[in-house]
A and B are shown apart, each in its own frame.
Chain A
Amino acid sequence: MSLAEGGLADRSAWPLLPAERTWGRWRLAIALATAAAATWCYLIGEYVGYYLNFFQGAAALTGGCMIGMLLVFLAAGPICGRFGIDSVAATKPQFGSSGWVIPSLMQIISIIGWNSLLLIFFAKSATQLLRVLGLMPAAMSGREIVPAATLLACSLIYFSLLWGAKGVATISKILVAHVLIGLWMLYILVSHHWADLAAARPTLATPDRLWNYTTGIELGISSTLSWWPYVGAMIRMAPNARTAVLPVMLGMGAPVPLLSFIGLAGVLVLKTSDPAEWLRTVGGTTYAIIALIFVGAANFGTAITGIYSSAIGLRNFAALERTPWALLLLLTIAPVVVIGTLIPELFFAKFGTFLAFLGVGFAPLCGIQIADYFLWRRRHVSLRGIYERDPAGAYAYTGGVNPAAVIALALGCAVYMALLNPLTFTSHGPYRFLTASLPAALSAAVVYLLASRVGQRHAR
């Protein structure tokens, strides 16, 4: 049975045909909103709340997230939207027919990390929910329930995704309601604690007001840059890039800052960003149950999109091109199961370090893709070149790797690290005026263009 005959195109990394790209604006927006709204939102809000008051924090998050979303969309959107391919395949013109493995590894590590975090959070929420409802078996503790709940969540995701993109769309339609619950939670917190919120002062704010504000913006930008791995696998289901503009900017870009306000308000007023904890303070057990259901639904929806995007990304490896979808899903979800069941607490403790370094890579990657597509290639991309493995192919470069992209990526990461240490948040140079992500993206773009020009002259 061929791919087309079986209707299985959404389970491959091959380009989708126009007849297969059936997601309209609303369907795409719902899928993206469900993916965007997760536990990370209130973690992002919490970090911003350490440096800024509610009003400045809200402005910095909104501005930063929307700028970050624009960068991600301009990087991956045009190629994915035009040809119906995923984010990883869209890097082949820049990195080469073998060099695309670098962004692919970034995608795999990023998604495994995020999904492990989300599903462990999901399991912890389920454990709390059982405890609040009095359903926790007396002989069991959270230490035993969390791995079991993680395993259950992974199983549910696995069976849902056996339907491919249809599974993502169906689950999204059900879970999108949690975005509204999240907004209701924000309303409850703001309406009950408005005076406290207006008067609250951030605990880690430095005397440098501009540094605090820039750090809030940076957190917003870098958070949305980590959407790069997800965006291609979703927008390829829409008929073209134009259809994806509003769903991406409003469906994916806007819910992140809006739901981050929950964490921002929570940490400023009640010194905790965990909505279950502060909703219990505000409205008792019933509100806590609602919050726990929200957290579970939010994380489940995001994880399902993440696993799907990761599986599609893996399809770009020749060895996995024809692997049965069920087996590929199993390979994709297995690392999450291992982390979630064997080392959930250790992973939690080290997650910040992992994530901080990961975020550094996506800003330069976006800069390289934008410069390549709009300035270097002037929108001329060879679809055949993306897939052919010919040593003389359009994107063969030197041994399949484009040195210009590798150098630009390395220098972009170095610029980021020179401006801001993502672990200690120690900054240097003009960080307070520029952020770290934007100069990293810009420097990578400039270096890519210069190195490509040098490479072109050398080839002559």
Chain B
Amino acid sequence: MPEPLPAELARRIEVLEEEPQGPDFDPVSWMWLALLGLVLPVGVLVLGWFL
């Protein structure tokens, strides 16, 4: 017999399931992630190697 969820938690899950949260990242977010997490560090590392 599965343990029931607390009423408040069940309510929250229902609310969130009824209102889908949409995608995690949009194209602009991906652009920033790629720029700050890949392009910038790789560029800085290449530059740093020659210093």
Complex contacts, B3 vs chain A, CB 8 Å: 389-390
B41 touches A74 (CB 8 A): no
Complex contacts, A45 vs chain B, CB 8 Å: none
A393 an interface residue at 8 Å Cβ cutoff? yes
Closest chain A residue to B39 by CB distance?
A66
Which chain A residues (197-218) contact chain B, with CB distance < 8 Å?
213, 217
A242 an interface residue at 8 Å Cβ cutoff? yes
Complex contacts, B23 vs chain A, CB 8 Å: 379
Binary flags per residue of A25-56, CB closer than 8 Å to B gives 1, else 0: 00000000000000000000000000001011
B8 touches A3 (CB 8 A): yes
Complex contacts, B33 vs chain A, CB 8 Å: 70, 73-74, 245, 249
Per the bound structure, the CA–CA distance linking A384 and B12 in Å amounts to 10
Complex contacts, B16 vs chain A, CB 8 Å: 15, 17, 83-84, 383
Per the bound structure, the CA–CA distance linking A73 and B5 in Å amounts to 29
A69 touches B25 (CB 8 A): no
B36 touches A66 (CB 8 A): yes
How many A residues, CB 8 Å from partner?
50
Complex contacts, B24 vs chain A, CB 8 Å: 77-78, 81-82, 240-242, 379
Per the bound structure, the CA–CA distance linking A18 and B16 in Å amounts to 8
Complex contacts, B2 vs chain A, CB 8 Å: 388-393
B32 touches A249 (CB 8 A): yes
Chief secondary structure at chain B's binding surface: helix
How many B residues, CB 8 Å from partner?
35
Per the bound structure, the CA–CA distance linking A198 and B19 in Å amounts to 57
Q: If the complex has contacts A217-B45, A387-B5, A389-B2, are A66 and B37 also in contact, measured as CB distance less than 8 A? A: yes
A229 an interface residue at 8 Å Cβ cutoff? no
Instruction: Identify the stretch in A57-65, A124-132, A283-291, A412-420 within 8 Å (CB) of chain B at 4 or more residues.
Output: A57-65
A241 touches B41 (CB 8 A): no
Tell me the minimal C-beta distance from A45 to chain B in angstroms: 15
A14 an interface residue at 8 Å Cβ cutoff? yes
Closest chain B residue to A5 by CB distance?
B8
Q: If the complex has contacts A15-B16, A391-B2, are A4 and B8 also in contact, measured as CB distance less than 8 A? A: yes
Tell me the minimal C-beta distance from B25 to chain A in angstroms: 6
Tell me the minimal C-beta distance from B10 to chain A in angstroms: 9
Tell me the minimal C-beta distance from B4 to chain A in angstroms: 9
Q: If the complex has contacts A66-B36, A66-B37, A70-B33, are A241 and B44 also in contact, measured as CB distance less than 8 A? A: no
Which chain A residues (280-324) contact chain B, with CB distance < 8 Å?
321-322
Tell me the minimal C-beta distance from B22 to chain A in angstroms: 7
Closest chain B residue to A374 by CB distance?
B24
Binary flags per residue of A230-243, CB closer than 8 Å to B gives 1, else 0: 00000000001110
Complex contacts, B6 vs chain A, CB 8 Å: 321-322
Complex contacts, A69 vs chain B, CB 8 Å: 37
B29 touches A242 (CB 8 A): yes
- Chain A to chain B contacts (Cβ below 8 Å), 5 pairs: A56-B51, A59-B44, A67-B41, A82-B22, A240-B21
Q: Which residues of B contact A (CB under 8 A)?
A: 2-3, 5-6, 8-9, 11-13, 15-17, 19, 21-26, 28-29, 32-33, 36-38, 40-42, 44-45, 47-49, 51
Apart from A63-B48, A245-B29, A245-B33, 17 more pairs, CB < 8 Å: A18-B19, A59-B47, A59-B49, A60-B48, A63-B41, A66-B36, A73-B33, A74-B33, A78-B25, A84-B16, A213-B49, A217-B45, A240-B21, A241-B29, A242-B29, A253-B37, A384-B17
